[in-house]
Structure 1
């Protein structure tokens, strides 16, 4: 048990009813999980308002309630604390509850539209190879040194984050690399954390269903850098037009990286092949198995971060040359018929464009590029015609299909994608709602040396429709479909 007033340290209280000098058990923002002597924090969500469940939490045994509005009925023996923002209060309380675990390791946050998972995962892999105990909090997985925990959000809730960081403390983890989403920043999930540094990868069209405007999306990302302490570092990609914006108000030590601009860390692509690329970083050449300009940026960010954190430069370059692709990020294989199949998480216009630029740069010109792509339901609708335009413009054949429709009609999502197709490209587009059938169609259309790109889901091993998830793995599906061509 913990003393309530200790958990509240640093929380600004506007009203108190009851005693804070009491022992409490656990923190919860889900009233269904409340048990005797727990603390319930009433979070206002997009769908439900935790204030509506205060009475239920009290009935289940809550000893303390954190809220933005005090209820009319105050129950004797229960402490009620009014705060301005329950999300901020929960973030600080969660850190206090677990004894501020982020202070006891070097936590690095990675934010941007694309590249967060790749950069965070490869940093984890690099530092593991360098002999350190390392943690990872990413879209794909949470790793506490070698132990894996499931994850469902890019940036988990603050209780989950601090719980994982606490486990890392117990395991002696020295470094933790964490994806930081705009949703997570906006919902205060990163408040109360002590960051050693932050990395900005890039910014493009995404999440405008949530943030409404691009400026709001950008400024939300920027808060991660604005809140860094003086002894932290801020590393930004200044080839992106928003790169310098991220650094404008930060108190942290500023570093920049780029392929095209003058920067603290620079790289040059010397050679590109399907099995990798030759890079020049700090006047040293290295071969990487990761291909594409976007991966050159990712690897440069990794190199810069390792250097800032004190790793020896030549050792870092050696370790980078050993790194493998992250699952679902330009993951490819070549079939017996010499058809190249690529699975990539590209689910934003910029990411899809970058992958297709990379593929087209590697072509001899005789191969066809067949792109299978969809757009997620209950997400930013404005990017759908843009995705449709890019896929049809940059491919020889585009097949529009379902991604994760969620509660939306897959047919209507595909129709919105079709609106972005230019008249001269309509003959290149097929629409096949069933994703399995769309992948099979692409494989049947492909001839020897052709390239199939299956975009949008990447590492995901499920498809979500009307609240139900069914097993679906793009990589397995395309592999099985190409194998069946032999039969």
Structure 2
């Protein structure tokens, strides 16, 4: 494609070169540059792409997009200056791949908690109804039957457009995508038009980046400004941020779901919760009996959001009911690990105060004996939640084991100290075991008949980050091996 055509809708200054040259590939990573590529230098948080321009040229880049004019220009290379290269990356990718979203219904799911499960459910319903759908999110990216690894909740804009181009070639009609606040703030979905969008909830998270809850809320709301006018949005009516999100919507059709308000478009006031499943009846735009093979009040919310979204996409209500019955759950989301032991063990990704409380409320509602909780807090992230999570552990658990999550560059001892500030001065029913494997082993060792053991914070994650090391650690595998030994 000619460079001048890739630059449609982009304000730029030509520093050197011409716009008639052919471009065969786009790249924002100098390690992936090939001959006749356009390299986009992005100013990142840890590294600056401008420092790798010479490397990109050496690898074959024939044109470079910059924010800062380089001190020297390589001969024969075209240099273009823009105001915001990260934002314009999305437009460059859209142009280069001929806007594949024109033929794809893009469904975005945002919120603090529930994005992954809600996305999985919507994708599962569509596939069960015979629709061709892709999934992009925290755990994996799925295109048809091909599973791709996921390094972040929402991929970079260029990677997304590569995926969308592949979907178009395979005639895949739907793309269901988790949309994080970082993705919205960092232009990863800039300029993309969504056919549908879902808001799950908003609680304190990522304040290390957003600084205030208002900034965080505004970042989430951006998704709904990118809806097509003939699209629709689905909102959790019970969340205090729902009105703010609804006011942000560019769609003409906005719908709500609720557990407490029968004025919502879809609601339920009659439900049953068990350790491994739940049942409820819906009211509103359609009435059905729903059964789901997973526990937790929060999964009623997730399934209501998915059901309402699928229904508005034209899926028959009976097909929705049948697909829920066949849903096997999401890895690391209220995942029950069973090796024949006489107590319950659950692995869950809950790593925020709200997520933790939701899981522990469900655990408490179904517990038969003692509740043992193993958790930690991530390093280099929002510190304000640590004491809150410590307080929740004391409030709900009969015994607590504080351990490492992903401490990253922080000293784990400092994280433990901040967690313990949430404990009352007389609280004694806890211990600190820094090594997470040992902490899980300890919980399993002390568990008695009919106890419940909950391993919180890491869910599906397969690696633990300590300093600059990435260590293999999967809570589910560790727990299963230890349970087999105990049994």
Q: How do 1:333-482 and structure 2 match up within 5 A? A: 333-334=337-338, 336-364=340-368, 367-424=369-426, 426-482=427-483
Under a length normalisation based on structure 2, what TM-score does the superposition of the two structures give?
0.95
Measured against aligned partners, the alpha-carbon deviations of 1:39-82 in whole angstroms (never above 9, x if no partner) come to 11111111222223334433443221212232243344322222
Q: How do 1:16-35 and structure 2 match up within 5 A? A: 17-35=16-34
Is the contact made by 2:273 and 2:297 (CA closer than 8 Å) also made in structure 1? Answer: no
How many residues are aligned here?
Answer: 482
Distance in 1 (alpha carbons) for counterparts of 2:63 and 2:189: 23
Tell me how far 1:386 sits from its aligned partner.
1.2
Under a length normalisation based on structure 1, what TM-score does the superposition of the two structures give?
0.95
Whether 1:62 aligns to 2:64 is: no
| Cα pair distance change 1:309/1:77, threshold 3 Å | same
The match for 1:332 is 336
Tell me how far 1:14 sits from its aligned partner.
4.6
Is the contact made by 2:194 and 2:226 (CA closer than 8 Å) also made in structure 1? Answer: no
Gaps of 5+ in 2: none
Whether 1:260 aligns to 2:264 is: no
Q: How do 1:85-484 and structure 2 match up within 5 A? A: 85-252=84-251, 253-261=253-261, 262-282=263-283, 283-334=287-338, 336-364=340-368, 367-424=369-426, 426-484=427-485
Measured against aligned partners, the alpha-carbon deviations of 1:143-185 in whole angstroms (never above 9, x if no partner) come to 1111111111001111211111121122221111001111111
Distance in 2 (alpha carbons) for counterparts of 1:214 and 1:104: 36
| Cα pair distance change 1:138/1:421, threshold 3 Å | same
Tell me how far 1:411 sits from its aligned partner.
2.1
Q: For structure 1, which segment, 248-257 or 114-123, has the greater mean C-alpha deviation from structure 2 after superposition?
A: 248-257
Is the contact made by 1:15 and 1:83 (CA closer than 8 Å) also made in structure 2? Answer: no
Is the contact made by 1:269 and 1:296 (CA closer than 8 Å) also made in structure 2? Answer: no
Distance in 2 (alpha carbons) for counterparts of 1:130 and 1:440: 43
Distance in 1 (alpha carbons) for counterparts of 2:81 and 2:161: 23
Tell me how far 1:363 sits from its aligned partner.
2.5
Is the contact made by 1:100 and 1:193 (CA closer than 8 Å) also made in structure 2? Answer: no
Tell me how far 1:481 sits from its aligned partner.
1.9
Distance in 1 (alpha carbons) for counterparts of 2:55 and 2:346: 50
Gaps of 5+ in 1: none
Tell me how far 1:269 sits from its aligned partner.
4.0
Measured against aligned partners, the alpha-carbon deviations of 1:370-426 in whole angstroms (never above 9, x if no partner) come to 0000111221122111111111221000100011122222222112111111123x2
Alignment RMSD (CA, Å): 1.6
Distance in 1 (alpha carbons) for counterparts of 2:436 and 2:394: 17
- Give the secondary-structure state (helix, strand or coil) at the position aligned to 2:400: strand
Is the contact made by 2:337 and 2:347 (CA closer than 8 Å) also made in structure 1? Answer: no
Distance in 2 (alpha carbons) for counterparts of 1:112 and 1:81: 37
Q: For structure 1, which segment, 12-21 or 43-52, has the greater mean C-alpha deviation from structure 2 after superposition?
A: 12-21
Measured against aligned partners, the alpha-carbon deviations of 1:203-248 in whole angstroms (never above 9, x if no partner) come to 1111111111111111111111122231221211120100121111
